Chain A
Amino acid sequence: MDAIIQVIHVSKWYDRRAALSDVTIEIEKGDFVLLMGPSGAGKSTLLRMLIGEEQPDEGQVFVHGKNVTKLKQSEIPYLRRKIGSVSQDFRLLSKKSVFDNVALPLVVQGVSEKDIRRKVTEALRAVGVDHKKDQSPNSLSAGEQQRVCIARAIVNGPVVLLADEPTGNLDPERTGEIIELFKLINARGTTVIVATHDPHVMKQINRRAVTLVQGVLMEEGRLAERVGV
């Protein structure tokens, strides 16, 4: 198997406090990984490093064969086009329609109008909100907004999907639906990394789990094995 993500002896400090401390992880292509840990454990910092938004103070980060720590500023956008991102606060533009929000990653790449229409429609259909394409994100429920956010993350056909606390604003029922969506996306070949401290998510995913506590990688294994499921 090919490693699509390699985090090698990475450390990061904020005001002498270690956000990440000598973290080493390797994630294979097509994996589904749960990145667990309490708030402030360093999960978001690690995810931000994978898209070049943060630089480690020590160590190296490789994504899809590129050394992110060595990338020039001008090369980072091209890395981000291969990675879909989903966040807890959805980050949708209220002045644009659902369709235009999902189309954004394609527009910045200069994809033709025809292909944009086709790909956005497919992505919205995949997450089950294609009937809301002309509405404003503000008129949608939290669960629907998160689906739109996921559609935007996958519309490009990314090799990796990063989700940072994607169910933080959702009830348990909607959480289940979103997790099922991630599983479906993973089944189609996209590597999925979900950072969470939500116990509902942990219970629903029997996949590789990585735990961070105060920036230190504590343990690795299948969650079901550890909780005895």
Chain B
Amino acid sequence: MSRLVYIVREAWANMRANRTTTIVAILTTAFTLACVGIFLLLYVNLRNAAGWLQEDVKIMVYLEDSVQAARRQALEKELKSDRMVFGVLFVSKEQALGEFRAQFPAETHLLEGLGENPLPASFVVTLAPNYRSPQSMKGWAERVQTMEGVAKVDYNQEWINVLAELIGYIELAAIGVGLLLSAASVTIIGNTIRLALSTRREEIEILRSVGATRTFIRIPYFLEGAVLGAFGSALSLGILKVGFELFRQQMQSAGRFSGIESLLSFFPFSLCIALVMAGMGLGLAGSVVSLLRVGEGRA
């Protein structure tokens, strides 16, 4: 027990003795991790947005005008039994016309000139969540296109591909920036520990002379690094949260984004905890690097 008390007390004393360095290390780590956090926040929100948008993606299976009722029913049955399909809704020619009129009342004269209803009957298909990737949609659409009675399969492939690509790029940027800035955090904390080691050289010598093991000497420095990392990470989350709320308020007051701001979300609590733990890990890594490079003295 006395050993544990000593170790915690020493780590605390280290941080108090080098107060300025400790504060600078926490602040620098916080701002560094906040930069990583911005990318992570962007990534998380885009992933969410992609999820909602993909949920909303409907595939239109237009039918040939010549399709008989029996074939249409068979086709509907076939689509409904497809494991990739989540929902199927039949829209008759008349319903399509009604919808067109309801949505574009000013344009109805265009259709009247044609005499006969030119709009085809269709199935509005929603794919199951696991099959909403651009590749799956494309494969499914190509397969259905070949079915008897199907005139055309249509969905907005273009923007789905763009969105997937964008998310991919942000993911890469988040990983790259994350790695780079994490290395910076490790270096910053490592330097703080190195400074603590040099200011306490005499004490380390005394500890060695009275029979302290390397582990006993090192643990307070490991602890210090972990605490610095955890504090830095927690502070970075605070900075991000404030920035995030300000941004959301700004969007709300601008009023031009038709409620998008309400869809934006901050990191869930579990991810916040994971990020603090990651900060702790980075701090620990800084201490380890520092102690391995400088050591706490020979023998």
Contacts and interface: CB of A to CB of B under 8 A. Distances in A.
Nearest to A91: B206
A74 B3 CA distance: 19
Most chain A CB neighbours (cut-off 10 Å) among B2, B207, B208, B213? B2
Interface residues of A, number: 28
A192 to B, nearest CB: 17
A108 B3 contact: yes
A53 B1 CA distance: 29
B142 interface: no
Contacts of A78: 211
Nearest to B216: A108
Given A53-B299, A110-B2, A111-B2, A77 B208 contact: yes
Nearest to A116: B2
B3 A107 contact: yes
Interface string A95-133: 100000000111111111100100000000000000000
A112 B1 contact: yes
A51 interface: yes
Contact of B209 (A73, A85, A106, A107): A85
A76 interface: yes
B202 to A, nearest CB: 7
Contacts of B213: 74, 77, 108
A3 interface: no
Nearest to A155: B210
A29 interface: no
Contacts of A110: 2-3
Nearest to A115: B2
B203 interface: yes
B139 to A, nearest CB: 61
Given A52-B299, A77-B208, A152-B210, A107 B202 contact: no
Contact of B210 (A74, A104, A112, A113): A104
A208 interface: no
A104 B3 CA distance: 10
Nearest to B3: A110
A207 interface: no
A80 B2 contact: no
B2 A112 contact: yes
Interface of A: 51-53, 73-74, 76-81, 85, 91, 93, 95, 104-113, 116, 152, 156
